[in-house]
Amino acid sequence: MSDIANKPLPVITDLTRPFWTAAKNRKLVLQKCQRCEVFNFHPKPWCIECGSRELTWTDAKPTGTVYSFTISRTVAMNFPGWEKDLPVLLCLIDLDDGARMYAQVTDCSPEDIRIGMRVTVHFEDISDEAGIPKFRPT
């Protein structure tokens, strides 16, 4: 538990709770605009494409493509609990539903990570209330 405690935990609000709860239950959900059908991420107060406040948490496809990546070799501007995970393979994932997400890619060596790599979501618990999505090569 001490390692988990040394990583930041989100402050869960009514806006964001469905995301964290779903991840705890091994599901990826995103806000989908009921007017223009665009998936928004990270959570927004209204759709950033059309301005509709009718955003509904919706099951998202569990797959995506690596848009970009970095291999963090030191902990900077984050909590020391990440130290034991270095190097951290942090990516921008273009989800198949059309939203982009920062997420760790696991089960992949730093030498093998590539833009365009197909990845599939998996989840890790970070607290009693929240899970977090990570990805691994498909």
Q: Does 10 bind another protein (CB under 8 A)?
A: yes
Helix, strand, coil percentages (3-state) for the chain, rounded to 5, are 15, 35, 50
Tell me which of 78, 107, 118, 138 binds another protein, using CB under 8 A.
78
Contact 7, 85 (CB under 8 A): no
Contact 34, 10 (CB under 8 A): no
CB of 67 to another protein, least distance (A): 7
- Distance (Å, rounded) from C-alpha 41 to C-alpha 31? 7
95: nearest Cα among 131, 128, 133: 133
Q: Does 84 bind another protein (CB under 8 A)?
A: no
| Residues 105-124, interacting with another protein (CB under 8 A) | 110, 115
Tell me which of 57, 85, 123, 137 binds another protein, using CB under 8 A.
85
CB of 113 to another protein, least distance (A): 9
- Distance (Å, rounded) from C-alpha 9 to C-alpha 129? 10
Tell me which of 38, 60, 119, 121 binds another protein, using CB under 8 A.
38
Q: Does 137 bind another protein (CB under 8 A)?
A: no
Q: Does 51 bind another protein (CB under 8 A)?
A: no
Tell me which of 17, 27, 49, 123 binds another protein, using CB under 8 A.
49
Contact 72, 88 (CB under 8 A): yes
CB of 134 to another protein, least distance (A): 9
